[in-house]
Amino acid sequence: MARIVGDKTEAAIEPPQETARGQSALSGRTRLALGAMQGLGLGGFYIIVLIYFSLSAPYFFSTSNVVNILSNISVIGIVTLGQAYVLIAGGFDLSVSGTVPLGGVIFTMLINRGLNIPEAWLIAVLAGCGIGLANGLIITRIGINALVTTLGTWSITVGLAYVVTNGETVAFKDLNQGPIDNVVLGMPLYVWTMILISLIAFAVLRFTVFGRMIYAIGGNREASRLAGIRVDLVTTSVYVISGGLGAFAGVMLAQQLLAGAPTVGANAALNSIAAVILGGAALSGGVGGIPGTVVGVLVLGTIANGMALMQVPSFYQQIATGAILLVAVGFGRLRAIFGQLAG
């Protein structure tokens, strides 16, 4: 019957396709502009924050304070890089709040037993990777939702940290075991470590096939599976990375404190997720990136620092973190709505 749609009319059917094309070109450009605005948005916001604190907080705009900010964010920064991988892959890792203290505690107990730093460090990171592996396997094999899984492993790992230390802070027996504190080229080694890991994390996510697979499984799991991507393997990998980086950060923190404490890192999950979301990622996965994530960490770290300099009690920092998260994400959302109305 539809053969009546002969060749003559068929030729006439194509052109409306062209209008559709023009239309989507427009929306493509609009979207690009909106995306750029959003990217600039956080950077712009950061600049405003910097100007504000430069004017109102004493000593804020000094080299030593910049180093100070970078020092303060180095631990959470490393945790956040792992969290970014997990969130972009469409997951969620609350257990970093457990791998951070557990990593630090394991490292401390091992060096106190006479292991050297690289050995103890490696074992602590491997333990973190092991927790990540457990997360990944539970999520992909058993099929428990990521939120529930990592909530469970968070509790288990924090509990483990308490058990092995008997609930006490374990000080380094040898106070020379924290070389990460040494200052090189004006900044402590751990700042350089964070910068190096950020660059690696950026390069892997942006330029490698593995990085693209992370975006792919976060963007659409089923499409990725149909395309032959080993979704379970990639999913598990990002949890292993996040677990490893969490423990790595925990070791760094222990070296800064010259002690391993089960009580540290409780805010790591919330702060790292907040920073990644602030940096443009979505809980649904598939979007975001390392540059945005780093700016997100910087924003939160700078505000905490500025508030401390202004002698605002630290409890208020937590309120500020939450408010900034909501304002930043809400602002982007409002802009999207207005963008649609304008378009």
Q: Name the site residues for other proteins (rule: CB under 8 A).
A: 1-6, 9-17, 19-21, 23-25, 27-28, 31, 207-210, 212-213, 215-216, 219-220, 222-230, 286-287
Residues 155, 98 contacting (CB under 8 angstroms): yes
Compute the distance between CA of residue 163 and CA of residue 318 in angstroms, rounded to an integer: 28
Compute the distance between CA of residue 267 and CA of residue 288 in angstroms, rounded to an integer: 22
Closest approach of other proteins to the CB of residue 26, in Å: 9
Closest approach of other proteins to the CB of residue 139, in Å: 18
Q: Specify whether the backbone of 311 is left (phi greater than 0), alpha (psi in -120 to 50) or beta.
A: left
Closest approach of other proteins to the CB of residue 129, in Å: 20
Strand partners, 184: 187
| Number of Cα atoms under 13 Å in the Cβ half of residue 294 | 12
Nearer CB in complex with other proteins: 77/280: 280
Residues 106, 243 contacting (CB under 8 angstroms): no
Closest approach of other proteins to the CB of residue 150, in Å: 23
Residues 246, 82 contacting (CB under 8 angstroms): yes
Nearer CB in complex with other proteins: 6/143: 6
Nearer CB in complex with other proteins: 6/313: 6
CA diameter of the chain? 90
Nearer CB in complex with other proteins: 173/230: 230
Closest approach of other proteins to the CB of residue 23, in Å: 6
Nearer CB in complex with other proteins: 181/232: 232
